[in-house]
Structure 1
């Protein structure tokens, strides 16, 4: 734990399950928050050692649940992102986001990195989704592009096909999944609202129903 400040000049960040609650507002249900159990964590993070800062997290208020209901329910904020000043200077626009839990007792923790001086509204990179492979009309989109007879050199011909395929698939996916994605976003929003409070039998059943609907 005794890390010299001179050895911590590089920009660095750690994130994940810290397994400790560092304040009373980071816990709901169960026994009261006991500061003596987390003092060593706060000491490790202070200015005399790692000089780390706890990044504010957007999204759900608690990142872990014991998945029990009523009087046995416990919620804790134990998944965190810590960073030093050097890292913050490089990624000054970074944002921490915690999405609602779907398949786990932990909520997925995401750190969106934006380099200093870059435009946060840059165009999103094209990503091919694995689920598209089971769609017959997706295959037709690709087949149609690659069956076009272009009288170009082999290198230019290949690059042109790739570019056209990307454009066609983006348009196809927006038409095919646009409504579905909006629906999933609404479902996740409702799940997040329910997971921000201690679970009851009713809210737990509702979450299970919503989680199943997100997988369809």
Structure 2
């Protein structure tokens, strides 16, 4: 670790920090055998930080991998505005035909000449539809889980 810090110093790089989960890798074992680490980092020099002063790093979730996604946003779009929750795709939706239909229907249709803007609109539209469908279909799963755990403890 000392050698790594020395290289960062020599290259005048700094860690940009992050929001989200503290760890970017986990060995997926249970209890005492579980190891979680922050391996993945976004580094930059002072000139880059000056150019992209609104940049921030977001750690995603690692549902299907032992690593989590690490997003670098140079415009600050990941910043949570007024407490609004960032959209997250839920693993429990996989295999549900209604979920698949929502995604297929959102991504079908004609594309404009600007594929990036078109993709951004489709992603925003798809996430909104999925979030609404999730709320109607599953309700607030986190609250239900806490209630069930509380009831289990009382029993």
Give TM-score scaled by structure 2 length.
0.56
- How has the CA–CA distance of structure 1 residues 173 and 63 changed in structure 2, closer, same or farther, with 3 Å as cutoff? closer
2:5 matches 1:42:
yes
Bigger relative contact order, structure 1 or 2 (CA pairs below 8 A, ≥6 apart):
1
2:34 matches 1:73:
yes
CA contact 2:54–2:74 (8 Å) conserved in 1:
yes
Q: 1:109 aligns with which of 56, 70, 75?
A: 70
Q: 1:179 aligns with which of 116, 132, 135?
A: 132
1:134 is aligned to: 104
- How has the CA–CA distance of structure 1 residues 93 and 173 changed in structure 2, closer, same or farther, with 3 Å as cutoff? closer
Give the CA deviation at 1:171.
Answer: 10
Structure 1: which 5+ residue stretches go unaligned?
Answer: 1-37, 122-129, 147-158, 160-164, 191-216
2:148 is aligned to: none
Counterpart-to-counterpart distance in 1, 2:49 and 2:25: 26
Counterpart-to-counterpart distance in 2, 1:171 and 1:108: 19
Q: How does 1:52-91 map to 2 (within 5 A)?
A: 52-91=13-52
CA contact 2:16–2:57 (8 Å) conserved in 1:
yes
Moved over 6 A (4+): 169-172, 181-184
Counterpart-to-counterpart distance in 2, 1:45 and 1:107: 23
- How has the CA–CA distance of structure 1 residues 54 and 138 changed in structure 2, closer, same or farther, with 3 Å as cutoff? closer
Q: RMSD of aligned C-alpha atoms? A: 4.2
Number of aligned positions between the proteins: 112
- How has the CA–CA distance of structure 1 residues 131 and 40 changed in structure 2, closer, same or farther, with 3 Å as cutoff? farther
CA contact 2:13–2:45 (8 Å) conserved in 1:
yes
Give TM-score scaled by structure 1 length.
0.41
Per-residue CA distance 1:83-124 (angstroms, 9 max, x = gap): 000000000010111012111001110111128xxxx89xxx
User: Bigger radius of gyration, 1 or 2?
Assistant: 1
Counterpart-to-counterpart distance in 2, 1:51 and 1:134: 46
